[in-house]
Amino acid sequence: MLRFAPSPTGDMHIGNLRVAIFNYIVARQIGEKLLIRIEDTDKERNIEGKDKEILKILDIFGIKYDQVVYQSANLHIHQEMAKKLLDSKKAFVCFCSEDDISIEREKAKLEKRPYRYSGKCEYLTQKEAEKKIKEKKPFVIRIKKPEKPIKFNDIIKGEKIFEPFDIDSFVILRADLTPTYNFACSIDDMIYDITLVIRGEDHLSNTPKQIHIRKSLGYDKEIKYAHLPIILNEEGKKMSKRDKASSVKWLLEEGFLPEAIANYLILLGNSFEREVFTLEEAIEFFDITKISRAPAKFDIEKLKFLNKEHMKNINNLAKRFNVNFIYEELLQIFKNESSTLKEIKEKFDKVFEKSEDEEFKNEREILKKEILANELEENYDEFKKRIQKNTGLKGKKLFMPLRELLINEKHGAEIKDLYKVMRTYLKEIIKIR
Ligand code: GLU
Q: Is 146 in the pocket of ligand 1 (CB under 6 A)?
A: no
Residue 239 lies in a domain: no
Average pLDDT of span 177-197: 97
Residue type, 414: E
On whether both 193 and 63 belong to a single domain, the answer is: yes
On whether both 64 and 195 belong to a single domain, the answer is: yes
Contact, 197 vs 3, CB < 8 A?
yes
Check residue 358 and give its pLDDT: 96
**CATH number, residue 149:** 3.90.800.10
Alpha-carbon torsion (291, 292, 296, 301), positive or negative: negative
The structural domain count of the chain equals: 4
Check residue 38 and give its pLDDT: 98
How long, in residues, is the chain? Answer: 433
Task: Quote the ligand 1 centre to 6 CA distance (angstroms).
Answer: 5
**CATH number, residue 200:** 3.40.50.620
Average pLDDT of span 208-237: 96
Kindly report the pTM of this predicted structure.
0.91
At 241, the pLDDT band (50, 70, 90 cuts) reads confident
Task: Quote the ligand 1 centre to 200 CA distance (angstroms).
Answer: 8
In angstroms, what CA-CA distances link 340 with 186, 241, 264, 328? Answer: 41, 22, 14, 17
Main-chain dihedrals φ then ψ at residue 414, nearest 5 degrees: -65, 130
On whether both 417 and 292 belong to a single domain, the answer is: no
Average pLDDT of span 165-172: 97
**CATH number, residue 250:** 1.10.1160.10
Task: Quote the ligand 1 centre to 392 CA distance (angstroms).
Answer: 69
Range of the domain at 228: 2-71+182-232
Q: Is 71 in the pocket of ligand 1 (CB under 6 A)?
A: no
On whether both 297 and 327 belong to a single domain, the answer is: no
On whether both 383 and 426 belong to a single domain, the answer is: yes
Residue 83 lies in a domain: yes
On whether both 67 and 80 belong to a single domain, the answer is: no
Per-residue pLDDT tens for 270-302? Answer: 889 999 999 999 999 999 999 988 999 999 999
Residue 237 lies in a domain: no
At 158, the pLDDT band (50, 70, 90 cuts) reads very high
Check residue 43 and give its pLDDT: 86
On whether both 141 and 191 belong to a single domain, the answer is: no
On whether both 13 and 101 belong to a single domain, the answer is: no
Contact, 64 vs 34, CB < 8 A?
yes
User: Can you tell me which atom of ligand 1 is nearest the CA of 185?
Assistant: 9
For residues 148, 165, 210, 19, the Cα torsion angle rounded to the nearest 10 degrees is -120
Check residue 153 and give its pLDDT: 97
Task: Quote the ligand 1 centre to 311 CA distance (angstroms).
Answer: 32
Q: Is 208 in the pocket of ligand 1 (CB under 6 A)?
A: no
Per-residue pLDDT tens for 28-71? Answer: 999 999 999 999 988 889 999 999 999 999 999 999 999 999 99
Is the pLDDT reported for residue 135 higher than 90?
yes
Check residue 271 and give its pLDDT: 87
On whether both 43 and 139 belong to a single domain, the answer is: no
Contact, 377 vs 386, CB < 8 A?
yes
Assign 146 to helix, strand or coil: coil
On whether both 269 and 389 belong to a single domain, the answer is: no
Q: Is 179 in the pocket of ligand 1 (CB under 6 A)?
A: no
